[in-house]
């Protein structure tokens, strides 16, 4: 075209070629974006469904934990009511059983792998519903607070309360309800009556119940949060 002095036609041809290339690139990008959006939406649906399933399981775990935890609190409340009572009144109660219930070994393990994975991998950005994201951040914050409370109770119980009771009650008879091989009747079981006349024991029980109450309140907050997450991830 150039040799035949048809420059204008060549220019139009070149522009047309460039236009077609640009259109091709834009179409390819659009298809790629469409595919990526489809993949992201599918991933979002999967994550949301997994969260829904996990938190339905978390609800069951929490219900079991709270039920056992309240049994611990009730046993401690019964012990508290017996402070200052006579030996005759104390003999009417199975104190070893109450102590066994009071020192429960409840454990709380939530299904939180999905949350950890999406936060560590950056998949949290796939959740377009900001309310879900906010609830998950709130879940992490509340989990840390709850763990701190539980650890404080365990540390105080193991470092303070149990050492205080070592010379005052029979752990062998207390643990008889667990049916462990080494438990059962003790030949040197101490008299429990002096223990229930000590203000120190009352104070230990009071502080023990206070720790329990703090954890129970955190569990009530956790229960409400679980319900919110279950409802918002239902669809």
**pLDDT digits 0-9 by tens, 95-137:** 999 999 999 877 888 888 888 888 777 777 778 888 988 999 9
In the prediction, which pLDDT does 117 show? 83
Q: What is the pLDDT of residue 173?
A: 93
Could you list the pLDDT tens digit for every one of the 235 residues in the chain? 555 556 667 777 777 778 777 787 777 777 777 776 777 788 888 889 999 999 999 999 999 999 999 999 999 999 999 999 999 999 999 999 999 999 987 788 888 888 888 877 777 777 888 898 899 999 999 999 999 999 999 999 999 999 999 999 999 999 988 888 999 999 999 999 999 999 999 999 999 999 999 999 999 999 999 999 999 998 7
pLDDT at residue number 220 = 95
Domain boundaries, the chain: 7-232
- Tell me, letter by letter, the H, E, C secondary structure of the chain: CCCCCCHHHHHHHHHHHHHHHHHHHHHHHHHHHHHHHHHHHHHHHHHHHHHHHHHHHHHHHHHHHHHHHHHHHHHHHHHHHCCCCCHHHHHCCCHHHHHHHHCCCCCCCCCCHHHHHHHHHCHHHHCCCHHHHHHHHHHHHHHHHHHHHHHHHHHHHHHHHHHHHCCCCCHHHHHHHHCCCCCCCCCCCCCCCHHHHCHHHHHHHHHHHHHHHHHHHHHHHHHHHHHHHHHHCCC
């Amino acid at each position: 075209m150039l040799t035949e002095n048809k420059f204008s036609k060549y220019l139009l041809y070149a522009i047309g070629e460039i236009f077609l290339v640009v259109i091709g690139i834009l179409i390819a990008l659009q298809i790629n974006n469409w595919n990526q959006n489809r993949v992201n939406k599918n991933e979002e649906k999967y994550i949301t469904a997994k969260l829904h399933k996990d938190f339905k399981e978390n609800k069951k775990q929490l219900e079991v934990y709270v039920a056992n935890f309240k049994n611990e609190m009730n046993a401690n409340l019964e012990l508290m009511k017996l402070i200052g009572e006579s030996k005759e009144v104390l003999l009417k109660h199975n104190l070893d059983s109450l102590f066994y219930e009071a020192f429960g070994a409840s454990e709380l393990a939530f299904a939180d792998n999905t949350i950890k994975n999406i936060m560590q991998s950056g998949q949290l950005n796939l959740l377009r519903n900001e309310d879900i994201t906010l609830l998950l951040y709130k879940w992490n914050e509340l989990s840390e607070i709850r763990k701190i409370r539980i650890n404080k109770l365990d540390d105080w119980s193991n470092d303070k309360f149990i050492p205080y009771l070592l010379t005052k009650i029979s752990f062998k008879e207390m643990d008889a309800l667990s049916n462990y091989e080494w438990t059962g009747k003790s030949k040197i079981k101490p008299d429990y009556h002096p223990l229930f006349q000590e203000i120190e024991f009352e104070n230990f029980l009071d502080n023990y119940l206070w720790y329990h109450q703090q954890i129970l309140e955190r569990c009530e907050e956790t229960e409400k949060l679980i319900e919110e997450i279950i409802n918002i991830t239902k669809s």
